[in-house]
Structure 1
Amino acid sequence: MFATWGRLVYRLRFAVIGAMVGLMLALGAYGLGLENNLSQSGWDDPGSESVAAAKLADGTFGRDTVADVIPVYTAPEGKTVDDPAFGAKITKSLDELAANNPDEILKINASYWSTKIALMADASKEHAFASVAIKGDNDTEVAGNFKKVRDQFYIDGVDVQLTGLQPVTGTLNDTMANDVHRMEILAIPAVGVLLFFIFGGVVAAALPLIVGGLTIIAANGVVKLITHLTEVNAFVVPVVSLIGLGLAIDYGLFMVSRFREEIAEGYSTGDAVRRTVMTAGRTVIFSATMIVASLGGLLIFPQGFLKSVAYGAIAAVILAAVISVTVLPAILAILGRRVDALGLKFMRKTKTTDEIENSVWGRLTQWVMKHPLKVTIPIVIGLLLLTIPISNIKFGGINETYLPPDNPTRVAQGEFNELFPNSRSEPVKLVLDGAQGAEITQIVKEANGAPGLVEKFTINNPTKDGVTVFKAGLVDRNDSEATIDYLRAMDVPDGVTMLVGGTPAIEQDSIAALLDNLPLMITMVVLLTTLLMFLAFGSLVLPIKAVLMTALGLGATLGILTWIFIDGNGAGLLNFTPGPIMSPVLVLIMAIIYGLSTDYEVFLLSRMVEARAQGASTTESVRVGTAHTGRIISAAALILIVVTGAFAFSELVMMKYIAYGMIAALVIDATLIRMFLVPATMKLLGDDCWWAPAWMKRIQEKLGLGEPVLEDERMPSDVPVIVTPPMPVPVEPRPANPVPLTRAAVEQVLPARTAAPTAIAEHEAPLSEPLTEPIPRAHPPVVAPEQAPRRAPAPPQSSRVAPAPAQAERDSRPIESWLAELKVPRPPQAAPPMTAPMQTNGSDESADADEDQGRHRHSAGSPTVSVSELLARHQED
């Protein structure tokens, strides 16, 4: 299938580029203005009690707009908020704000100067506030309208600070937009420089960037299409940029590297494109499928935020894979050997297969496999120790504390909470339906005994249609579990419904929904990726090993994140406030890290399985696979770290959490796990790595998804030929009437060809008799330095002799399975046949040693030379 696709892309390369690039650009044009279609909602569980409470209250009284925007005004020095001139100035500003923006401002709910409510001013009368309702039927419209009028809240000569839900939400959204812009300004050029040093040429370095650019712009178009079907959270934009650009560049790196390797081996452009699609292209498709399966686990959760991120990330991954196996091979087909153009010659040289397999990665893998237990045990213990801090993990909701301590909006909100503790914008609410008179009094009295309240419950609105809403502030909204559990455990009279709502309850219900669905998500993702890896590699052991190693890396990463962001280590250096992390963000980072770990595992194992399919032993397959992919995986991880590093400078804690989590995971995965732990464990498992039930093997074979066996398809002229120069041997004139060659005659010729005379065995004929039996070849043969065989000049960029048929190699490779040896001991090897002793200039022991070496150099029938062969050589000389 992939071979056919490779040939098709090569044949229709111009049409493929025109159609695919045109489609991607069209999607990109459609995606312009995506930010106007995004929502700020999606953090709650739609089926929870708290959401039901919000729907009942909003359906009865309308949306609660009290906390939309809360401007806080500070009186001039030496005056109070009761100063008439000061009050008149503020009242005029609020009136003009509502009059000038009827489409954005719903109403002025209240202000200290219009109501004279004492609670709307602090005790010193230096500060007072107002409440402004923003028009909009949903979160997206409200956020957009506030953005239009935000600057009109400020008054010349008056100290005004904006607090409330919309200022905090707007600042969070602006921070995310700045993060994306920073990535575009810093990360993309830095990645371009890295790619230039990796490939050594401008053209090759530009190709992965082309894939990444097309992926991002097309993904934005797909996400905009999705916004017409369902609400999509604004957080999807940085996630699409991060995942889309990173994976697209990684895929482009693998494809271009494999193409250059095939070109270096002497293949034509068409064959190189086809073989690249058959190998790296196949791996890209399987990798993308497994990452989609990992991200698809997010769709299990009820939160719209996770569904939104899943939609965008899945779209980006699919587009990155599709572009990598369509547009990129087509461009390579046009470029051919010009893929290395515009570069430095000493940097752009592509290593041949022999050079790669004997590189530092190959030698490192050999060392690891010589000491598998010494490598495995300390790494596993170290990763397990890094998971210990996970026990301190805490969950919370998004709020102003996710901004840096010195952020103006966060400072303003913090001061408001201190000055007006009874007016906090995120209270817990009781929504009563069907309660009357004494029933309401009794319920509220009991509710006031709940722990963690900063004030008693007060009525929010007069009873309407039998519905009454009460609210109360909490001492710590992130420590509301005991309060909410107490309220929900209360007994209410028959016929009365009491729902606990408000922001703290919504967050607790969201956390509970995530924890309830997390086991299902993990089970589904593990089963799907295990099945896909089996279909890719034909082994059941490899997927299980991959899952266990991914779990080790994921646990270590979460431990590091908990140690930093929850325990607070490095908070001052990284400029954030430690505290609970949002549970949806935790699930998101788990899905991303699992997908990336699987991605690198697929690329590493694909090359090992490819070598195995060519007939290599397990040890050799591991060495070859790691040698070929070690440098590329390290480069891919480094590129993704650079992309992620742009988000590490974010002012938003949850973006820092994702960025540092990915950086930690990439470092652990690309070094400790892939380069050390994988080779060591595969060496310990031996041939059992490739085990799977026979019926599963048959399914894979029927589906035709196994690793293709690549034959050497180069022309014979491409294969280096061993040329032995003629050996100058003095030859006596041939007699006119030749006589049968006797052993005595041979003895006159052999000394000129060998380093020492060979003794005649007892069973051989006398010197005077004609030769009718093979003559043993002298051991060891000594060739003068000037007569050493020379290798004919090989064609440019070609290095290896055509291999023997794969089946023959597989039949002869050694068995490496310590489990099999435990179950069925290997039969003892037969002793080698005895041969007549031969004497040379050296000792008998050295002759035996040389003979052992000779078995590796010659076939079974090569220790003797026939008379006809000797005569033929004699005549040629």
Structure 2
Amino acid sequence: MFSRWGHFAYNHRRIIPLIIVAAILALYFGFGTKLGERMSQEGWDDPGSSSTAAAQIEMETFGRDNNGDVVLLFTAPEGTSFDDPEVFSAVSDHLTGLREDNPGEVSHINSYFDTRNPSLLSEDGTQAFAALGLEGDGEQTLRDFRAIEDQLVPESLPGGVTTQVAGATAVADALDDGMAGDILRAEVYALPAVAILLLFVFGSVVAAGMPLIVGVLSILGSLGVLSILANITQVNVFAQSVVTLLGLGLAIDYGLFMVSRFREEMDKGSPIPQAVATTTATAGKTVVFSAAMVAVALSGLFVFPQAFLKSVAFGAISAVGLAALMSVVVLPSIFGMLGTNIDRWSLRRTSRTARRLEDTIWFKVPSWAMKNAKLVTAAIVLVLIGLTVPLVGVKFGGINETYLPPTNDTRQAQEDFDDSFAAFRTEPVKLVVTNADNNQLIDIYVQANEVEGLTDRFSAGATTDGTTVLSAGIIDRSMNESVIDQLRAIDVPEGVEVYIGGTPAMEIESIEALFEKLPWMALYIVVATFILMALVFGSLILPAKAIIMTVLGMGATLGILTLMFVDGVGADLFNFSPGPLMSPVLVLIMAIIYGLSTDYEVFLVSRMVEARDKGASTDDAIRYGTAHTGSIITAAALIMIVVCGAFGFSEIVMMKYIAFGMIAALILDATIIRMLLVPAVMHLLREDNWWAPGFIKKAYAVMGHGSDGPETTGPTGPTRPLDEGEEVTIHEAVPAEETVASRSGRSTAEDEELVPFAELMSRLENKRRSGDSD
């Protein structure tokens, strides 16, 4: 199938790119440019939780609680206080003008300067605050804030009074700005850096430009798809950063594999049409199945109830799918037009066929690992388990101002306000009580005030016949779980309903929902990827090995992240505050790491399977696959690390977490796992690597694996003959029992004139280089 598509792409090489590029541009300019206005800041909660029900009842009964939207914290200069009539009047006039000039955005303002309520003034009289409620609901709240943002801090107040801006909407705006900066940083820094790296890898301007074309088209297309989705369902603003990170990195990686295989085919002297077909049938097929692995891992996020995870999954899957589509649809057609011009505008003139595979580090390191297989396996497994140990100390929380850098103005304002006016925290815990009479309400109120960890007693925020909202602050976020558990233990009178709401309850219930669904996500991903890899590899042992190694690598990565983001290793260097992690982000990084690890595993092992299908022994196939893919997979990992590095400088902790998680996973996967652990374990498994029941082998053959050229019958099933000059130049001696004939069942006497596989490959290679056509 893939080979036929390669021929079709060559025969229509001029029209296919035009159609695809036109479609992508129409998608982006028709929808993608409107993405910013369609994104949501919401979607972190569990829709079926008590906190969501509490918020819904409160909204329907009393309207949105907007008291904590924006907080203006005023500080008098040293030696003065807000009892000074001139200072008092100036601030009061500023707030009055703010309300009168923005009737469509400002709902109300509660402040010390209106009521002279002493609880709104600090004990020493040097700090006071004003709480602004915004008119809009949902995403309109953020638009209202941005409409008045420039007016919040007056140009001058008498005596040098300073004004700080805090509040839930102000924090949300700061987080949104940080994510927008991530996209800009990727465009301004990551793309040029990747272009330079591709030039170094390929040595040719034209070849280096091919993966960039795939990357740019994939991002434009995925933003268009994300915009369409945002018009239908809730898409969190955070999804755009994740889509850009994954889409750009994987698209360039896939393009890199396609270009490398095409140049390899051209180096063999293959005619251009055949080179395009072979590239599509080998690298193209691997790209499609690798993308499927990543998509399956990300689709596991649909198991969870949070709209945030669903929206990220939608966007990331569309980005990965478009990256694979661009690679196998657009690039083969461009290859057909370029031909030998793929090496046009070369910056360095080197012969890629001058060195033997066995002279490369990608051959020598796996060979050493196989010679010391037991020691290497035991040592690496112990190292990975050791790196996993810090994960035991992981802590979870919610999104708040601590996800901003310590130097961020909004974060500092929020922390100053919380310290000075703890009883007015903008994240109160709430009790929404329905169907209670006065006596029952008093009983609940008394029990609630016995809870430990509150900043003050519960107060009645709103009351109607049958529904009452009680609210109180929590001394510290670390006590959220304890307070919620105590509130759940309240003895509720029969017939009365008590819903625990507010941000603290939402965070705790979100964590509980995630861990309830996590086993189902894990089961789904493992089973689905196992089936896919079994079909790709024609084996049941190789998928099992891949999943075990992926879990080991994931555990080590999460342990490293816990050391950094919970325990604080590197916090000062990378400008973030350690603390609890958002549980949805942990689940997201697990899906991403799993997808990336299986992605690279498919690229590596597919080349081993390809060699095995041509008759190679197990050890020869391991060396062949690692040596042929080593430099390319390493380059792909470096490119992804460069892209992740741009996001590692994000102002948002959750984005740093994902970026550094991917970097750690890539480094582990591209070094000790792929170069050492995979060869060592496969050497120990020997012939068991290739075992599968008959129906798996049949499915493997039906899907076209191992049959991209003219078919013959080989020792492991349908195979194709070696292309002239195929580089399997492995010169180590092979025992007589490992000859092709002996593996196919012939007797020893019949084998006397047969040569080992490696020696046969060496002879073919020497003939090609000497120009002998016999």
Q: Normalised by the size of structure 1, how large is the TM-score? A: 0.81
**Deviation at residue 156 of structure 1 after TM alignment:** 2.0
Aligned equivalent of 1:287: 290
Match of 1:416 in 2: 417
Matched, 1:163 2:166: yes
Match of 1:433 in 2: 434
For the pair shown, the structure with the greater C-alpha radius of gyration is: 1
The equivalent residue for 1:465 is 465
Task: Assess if the C-alpha contact under 8 Å between 1:474 and 1:480 holds in 2.
Answer: yes
Contact 1:75 1:127 in 2 (8 A): yes
- Of 180, 184, 189 in structure 2, the residue corresponding to residue 186 of structure 1 is 189
CA contact (8 A) 1:608 1:621 kept: yes
In the alignment, structure 1 residue 571 sits paired with structure 2 residue 564: no
Q: How does 1:365-380 map to 2 (within 5 A)?
A: 365-380=366-381
Shift of 1:827: 13
345, 349, 368: which one pairs with 1:346? Answer: 349
Q: Please say if 1:151 is aligned against 2:150.
A: yes
CA distance, structure 2, for counterparts of residue 362 and residue 854 of structure 1:
19
Match of 1:782 in 2: none
With over 3 angstroms needed to count, the CA separation of the structure-2 counterparts of 1:77 and 1:557, relative to structure 1, is same
CA distance in 1, matches of 2:352, 2:756: 35
Structure 2 partner of 1:640 = 640
For 1:560 and 1:573, locate their aligned partners in 2 and report how far apart those are by CA, in whole Å.
Answer: 16
Which consecutive unaligned segments of at least 5 residues does structure 1 have? 721-797, 802-808, 817-825, 834-850, 859-877
- 2:215 corresponds, among 209, 212, 217, to 212
| Matching residue of 2:706 | 707
> Is 1:44–1:303's contact at 8 Å kept on the other side of the alignment?
yes
Q: Give the match's secondary structure for 1:645.
A: helix
Aligned residue identity for 1:234: V
Alignment correspondent of 2:537: 537
The alpha-carbon deviation at position 855 of structure 1 amounts to 14
Cα displacement string for residues 721-745 of structure 1 (whole angstroms, at most 9, x for unaligned residues): xxxxxxxxxxxxxxxxxxxxxxxxx
Q: Which amino acid aligns with 2:245?
A: L
**Matches of 1:832 and 1:155 in 2, distance apart?**
93
Structure-1 residue corresponding to 2:327:
324
Question: C-alpha displacement at 1:563, in angstroms?
Answer: 1.0
Flag the 1:815–1:670 CA change in 2: closer, same or farther, 3 A: farther
2:307 counterpart (304, 310, 314): 304
Query: More helix by proportion, 1 or 2?
Result: 2
Per-residue deviation at 1:355?
A: 2.8
Aligned-pair distance for 1:149? 1.3
Deviation of 1:856 (Å) = 11
Cα 1:412–1:635 shift into 2, 3 Å:
same
**Secondary structure, aligned partner of 1:650:** coil
Query: Could you tell me which residue of structure 1 aligns to residue 273 of structure 2?
Result: 270
Amino acid corresponding to residue 303 of structure 2 in structure 1: I
Relative to structure 1, is the Cα distance of residues 23 and 361 closer, same or farther in structure 2, using a 3 angstrom cutoff?
Answer: same
Deviation at 1:479, TM superposition (A): 2.5
CA contact (8 A) 1:42 1:233 kept: yes
Change (3 A) 1:88 1:694: same
The DSSP-based 3-state class of the residue aligned with 1:432 is strand
- Residue 636 of structure 1 deviates from its aligned partner by 0.3
Greater mean alpha carbon deviation, residues 442-451 or residues 254-263: 442-451
Contact 2:281 2:708 in 1 (8 A): no
Check conservation: 2:211, 2:254, Cα contact below 8 A: yes
Is structure 2 residue 630 aligned with structure 1 residue 627? Answer: no
Matched with 2:651 is 651
Shift of 1:56: 0.7
The answer for the alignment partner of 2:740 in structure 1 is 812
Percent of aligned positions that are identical: 50
2 CA distance for matches of 1:383 and 1:828?
45
For 1:157, the aligned partner's letter is S
Give the CA deviation at 1:350.
Answer: 2.8
Paired residue type of 2:114 = S
Letter in 2 for 1:196: L
TM-score, normalised to structure 2, is 0.92
Determine the C-alpha separation between the residues in 2 that align with 1:814 and 1:473.
78
**RMSD across aligned C-alpha pairs, in angstroms?**
2.6
> Residues 433 and 469 of structure 2 are in contact (CA less than 8 Å); yes or no, is this contact kept in structure 1?
yes
Of 280-289 and 86-95, the range deviating more from structure 2: 86-95
Contact 2:742–2:751 at 8 Å: present in 1 too? no
- The SS at the match of 2:433 is strand
Q: 3-state SS of the aligned residue for 1:298?
A: helix
**1:585–1:271 distance in 2 versus 1, CA, 3 Å:** same
Contact 2:3 2:708 in 1 (8 A): no
Aligned partner of 1:804 in structure 2 is none
Structure 2 counterpart of 1:479, which letter? M
Deviations 1:112-168 (A, max 9, x none): 111221111111111111111112231x21112211211111112231111110111
- Distance of 2:434 and 2:339 partners within structure 1: 74
Query: Quick one: distance in 1 between partners of 2:683 and 2:728?
Result: 27
Partner of 2:454: 453
SS at match of 2:33: coil
Q: Which residue of structure 2 lines up, in the alignment, with residue 875 of structure 1?
A: none
The CA deviation at 1:306 is 0.5
The DSSP-based 3-state class of the residue aligned with 1:302 is: coil
Q: How many angstroms does 1:260 deviate by?
A: 0.1
1:791 corresponding residue in structure 2: none
SS in 1 for 2:499: strand
Contact 1:143 1:166 in 2 (8 A): yes
Structure 2 contact 73–166 (Cα < 8 Å) conserved: yes
SS at 1:32 equivalent: helix
> Residue 496 of structure 1: CA displacement?
0.9
Secondary structure in 2 aligned to 1:70? Answer: strand
What runs of 5+ residues in structure 2 fail to find an aligned partner?
713-720, 730-736, 761-774
Report the CA distance shift for 1:709/1:443 in structure 2 as closer, same or farther (over 3 A). Answer: same
CA contact (8 A) 2:428 2:473 kept: yes
Q: Separation in 2 of the partners of 1:814 and 1:500?
A: 72
Post-superposition Cα deviations, 1:282-309, rounded to whole Å, max 9, x if no partner, equal: 0000001111000000011000110111
Match of 2:247 in 1: 244
Q: Deviations over 1:187-231 (max 9, x none)?
A: 111110000010001110011011000111111100000011111
2:740 and 2:757 in contact (8 A); partners too: no
Contact 1:72 1:129 in 2 (8 A): yes
1:52 counterpart residue number? 53
CA–CA distance in structure 2, aligned partners of residues 857 and 213 of structure 1: 45
Deviation at 1:109, TM superposition (A): 3.4
Q: Within 2, Cα distance between the matches of 1:476 and 1:852?
A: 77
Contact 1:614–1:710, Cα closer than 8 Å, also in 2: no
Deviations 1:515-561 (A, max 9, x none): 00000000000000000111111111111000000000000000111
Q: For this pair of structures, how many residues does the alignment match?
A: 739
Query: Residues 488-524 of structure 1, C-alpha deviation per residue, up to 9 Å, x if partnerless?
Result: 1211111211111110000000000000000000000
Q: Match of 2:233?
A: 230
> Which SS does the other structure have where 2:47 is aligned?
coil
Alignment of 1:338-737 (within 5 A): 338-347=341-350, 349-351=351-353, 355-356=356-357, 358-461=359-462, 463-701=463-701, 703-710=702-709
Q: C-alpha separation between the residues in 2 aligned to 1:300 and 1:575?
A: 34
Answer whether contact 2:742 2:748 (CA < 8 A) is retained.
no
Question: Structure 1 residues 418, 345: closer, same or farther in 2, change over 3 A?
Answer: closer
Tell me if structure 2 keeps the 8 A contact 1:288–1:321.
yes
Inter-CA distance 799–86: structure 2 relative to 1 (3 Å threshold): closer
Whichever residue aligns with residue 50 of structure 2, its letter is E
Pairwise CA distance, 1:423: 0.3
Q: In 1, distance between residues paired with 2:605 and 2:727? A: 24
1:542-601 CA distance string (max 9 Å, x none): 110000000000000001111111111222222221110000000010000000000000
Give the secondary-structure state (helix, strand or coil) at the position aligned to 2:706.
coil
CA distance in 1, matches of 2:119, 2:598: 57
Q: Would you say the 8 A contact 2:440–2:493 is kept in 1? A: yes
CA offsets 1:825-873 (integer angstroms, 9 cap, x no match): x99978999xxxxxxxxxxxxxxxxx99999999xxxxxxxxxxxxxxx
What CA distance in whole angstroms lies between the structure 2 residues aligned with 1:680 and 1:4?
37
- How big is the shift at 1:438? 1.9
Q: Residues of 2 paired with 1:35 and 1:493: CA distance? A: 48
Shift of residue 454 of structure 1? 1.6
Match of 1:812, as an amino acid?
V
- Check whether the contact 1:182–1:646 (CA below 8 A) recurs between aligned residues: yes
1:27 deviates by 1.3
Contact 1:191–1:643 (8 Å) recurs in 2: yes
CA distance in 2, matches of 1:239, 1:799: 39
